């Protein structure tokens, strides 16, 4: 039998044992002593750390990818499709851990968990950007929120389609803009990758970034076919970090990027390569 949550397995006997002992003492007229605080304390610790416990367990015994997820990456993820069999296993392993280790919530009248295929659409960007890194989870960015449409936020009180908050460890998307950019990047800008490139820079600030870019918006258009105004309009901003845009292009249009920006391509390979 496969265990999907080690924390629940550990928590069940502690909970049942505590209830049984408390009932036994109460039914026999015995005063419940301070010892009862011990299992309660254990339950609190288990509740707080359940995510870490389950993630550690899944690194040893990864959960197989959901059928919808496998179907999606086989159909749409060209990066996965072009991997050799051993790297496809690595990809699936890392995808499984990422989906288990991060929270994906839909935001509307109420918050609810995203469907597995939407999680996969988002996670493909995370897996690709960190495919050659030891850190599967990209630092402390542990929550992803998705609105149906562009949204305002406390830090950016205007409608925009993507936000990366390093202080809170949160990535936020507009679903309306997310799906087309991942599925059809020849026509739409990939805000899914855009957020993870920005998250990467915030998670690993001490890496040797090619900040002094020998590239501009004309190079972005040459590689992606997308104009500056279209990209800014998609993001819902007036200006953006050029490195994040070029990093997005590096992962989204790898062949065009290598052909037209060979020097920067080498720098990106060194940055995102094997540790």
Residues 211-247: tens digit of each pLDDT: 778 889 999 999 999 999 999 999 999 999 999 999 9
pLDDT, tens only, 185-211: 999 999 999 999 999 999 999 998 987
Q: Are 14 and 42 in contact (CB under 8 A)?
A: yes
Q: What is the pLDDT of residue 23?
A: 65
CA 17 – CA 75 distance, rounded (Å):
48
Q: What is the pLDDT of residue 153?
A: 94
The pLDDT confidence band at residue 273, using thresholds 50, 70 and 90, is confident
- HSE at residue 68, side-chain half, CA atoms within 13 A, is 8
- Within the chain, how many helices (H) and strands (E) appear? 13, 5
CA angle, residues 221, 227, 228, in degrees to nearest 5: 105
CA angle, residues 192, 194, 197, in degrees to nearest 5: 115
More confident residue, 252 or 76: 252
| pTM for this model (two decimals) | 0.80
Q: Are 44 and 58 in contact (CB under 8 A)?
A: no
The pLDDT confidence band at residue 2, using thresholds 50, 70 and 90, is very low
pLDDT averaged over every residue in the chain: 86
Q: Is the pLDDT of residue 70 over 50?
A: yes
Nearby residues of 63 by Cβ (< 8 Å), 6 or more positions away: 2, 4, 96, 100
Architecture of domain 67-272: 3-Layer(aba) Sandwich (3.40)
User: What average pLDDT score do residues 243-256 get?
Assistant: 96
The string of DSSP letters for 135-188 reads -SS-TT--EEEEESS-B--SSS-S-BSEEEETTTTEEEEEHHHHHHHHH-TTTS
Q: What is the pLDDT of residue 1?
A: 41
The pLDDT confidence band at residue 15, using thresholds 50, 70 and 90, is low
CB atoms within 10 A of CB 149: 10
Q: What is the pLDDT of residue 135?
A: 86
Q: What is the pLDDT of residue 166?
A: 94
User: What average pLDDT score do residues 126-148 get?
Assistant: 93
Q: Are 110 and 166 in contact (CB under 8 A)?
A: no
Exposed, middle or buried: residue 140 (CB in 10 Å: 0-12, 13-18, 19+)? middle
CATH 3.40.390, the chain: domain bounds = 67-272
Q: What is the pLDDT of residue 67?
A: 83
What percent of the chain lies above the pLDDT cut of 70? Answer: 77
pLDDT, tens only, 76-126: 899 999 999 999 989 998 998 899 889 999 998 889 999 988 999 999 999
pLDDT, tens only, 39-55: 666 666 655 655 556 56
CA 245 – CA 18 distance, rounded (Å):
54
Q: Is the pLDDT of residue 56 over 70?
A: no
Q: What is the pLDDT of residue 256?
A: 97
Instruction: List beta partners, residue 164.
Output: 171
Nearest Cα neighbor of 211 from 201, 223, 221 is 201
Q: Are 42 and 64 in contact (CB under 8 A)?
A: no
More confident residue, 86 or 23: 86
Q: In what order do the strands lie in the sheet with 103-106?
A: 112-113, 103-106, 143-147, 170-174, 162-165
């Amino acid at each position: 039998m496969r265990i999907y949550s080690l924390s629940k397995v550990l928590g069940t006997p502690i909970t049942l044992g505590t209830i049984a002992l408390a009932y036994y003492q109460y039914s026999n007229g015995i005063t419940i002593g301070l010892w009862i605080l011990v299992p309660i304390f254990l339950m609190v610790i288990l509740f707080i750390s359940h995510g870490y416990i389950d993630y550690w367990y899944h690194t040893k015994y990864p959960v197989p990818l959901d059928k919808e997820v496998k179907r999606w990456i086989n159909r749409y993820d060209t990066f996965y499709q072009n991997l050799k069999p051993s790297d496809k296993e690595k990809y699936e392993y890392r995808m499984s851990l990422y989906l288990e280790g991060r929270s994906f919530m839909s935001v509307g009248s109420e918050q609810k968990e995203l469907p597995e295929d939407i999680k996969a659409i988002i996670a493909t960007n995370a897996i690709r950007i960190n495919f050659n890194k030891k850190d599967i989870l990209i630092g402390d960015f542990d929550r992803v929120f998705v609105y149906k449409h562009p949204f305002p936020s406390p830090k950016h009180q205007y409608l925009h389609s993507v936000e990366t908050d390093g202080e809170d460890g949160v990535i936020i998307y507009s679903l309306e803009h997310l799906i087309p950019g991942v599925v059809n990047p020849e026509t739409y800008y990939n805000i899914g990758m855009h957020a993870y490139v920005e998250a990467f820079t915030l998670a690993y600030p001490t890496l040797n970034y090619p900040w002094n870019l020998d590239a501009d918006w004309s190079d972005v258009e040459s590689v992606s076919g997308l104009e500056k105004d279209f990209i800014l309009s998609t993001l819902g901003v007036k200006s953006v970090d050029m490195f994040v845009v070029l990093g997005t292009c590096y992962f989204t249009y790898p062949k065009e990027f290598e052909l037209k920006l060979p020097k920067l391509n080498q720098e990106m390979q060194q940055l995102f390569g094997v540790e």
